[in-house]
């Protein structure tokens, strides 16, 4: 489990991140102390359309309660993917990802507006044509997609999966 204090942090300011490792077999939910975790933070690159730019890389070790907690600092504003990975006692890899943004105070709304981009497969359509959409977002989670033209035409619940969703 990964725990972040929110979805938007401030660049150059520490914020706490916790990673909990628990057993899934034997003693389910029992903490796993002493587990080494690889923690990486990558920034969204608007040129390559991926989280290529590594801004943080470290090894954390879980404590007696199976939790590793550290303060992270991202160097600049943008959108980030936090990845925590490791290997269990049987040699099987595990991984958890979370996405967050970093913005300066007063710029959180601007960061949210830039967070989403909707593109269609064509520039124009004839009546009865179906558009294929792509939603680019550094954040995952539930969203409501609404189609409007002079009023609400259609709405659809979608689950965003960064960096892109094709509903």
Q: What residues contact 66, with CB distance under 8 A and at least 6 apart? A: 20, 21, 22, 30, 31, 32, 33, 35
- 137 vs 89 pLDDT, higher one: 89
Q: What is the pLDDT of residue 37?
A: 97
Share of the chain above pLDDT 90, in %: 32
Could you check whether the bond before residue 163 is cis, i.e. omega within 30 degrees of 0? yes
Per-residue pLDDT tens digits for 92-123: 999 998 888 887 666 555 555 556 778 888 88
Mean pLDDT of 51-78: 93
């Amino acid at each position: 489990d990964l725990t972040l204090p929110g979805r938007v942090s401030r660049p150059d300011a520490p914020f706490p991140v916790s990673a909990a490792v628990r057993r899934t077999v034997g003693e389910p939910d029992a903490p796993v102390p002493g587990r080494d975790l690889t923690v990486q933070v990558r920034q969204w690159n608007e040129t390559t359309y991926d989280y290529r730019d590594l801004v943080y890389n470290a090894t954390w070790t879980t404590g007696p309660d199976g939790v590793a907690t550290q303060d992270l600092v991202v160097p600049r504003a943008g959108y980030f993917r936090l990845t925590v990975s490791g290997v269990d006692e049987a040699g099987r890899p595990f991984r958890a990802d979370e996405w967050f943004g970093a913005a300066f105070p007063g710029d959180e709304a601007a960061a949210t507006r830039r967070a989403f981009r909707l593109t269609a497969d064509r520039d124009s359509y004839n009546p009865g044509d179906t558009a294929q959409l792509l939603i680019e977002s550094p954040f995952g989670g539930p969203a409501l997609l609404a189609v409007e033209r002079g009023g609400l035409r259609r709405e659809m619940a979608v689950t965003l999966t960064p960096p892109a969703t094709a509903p």
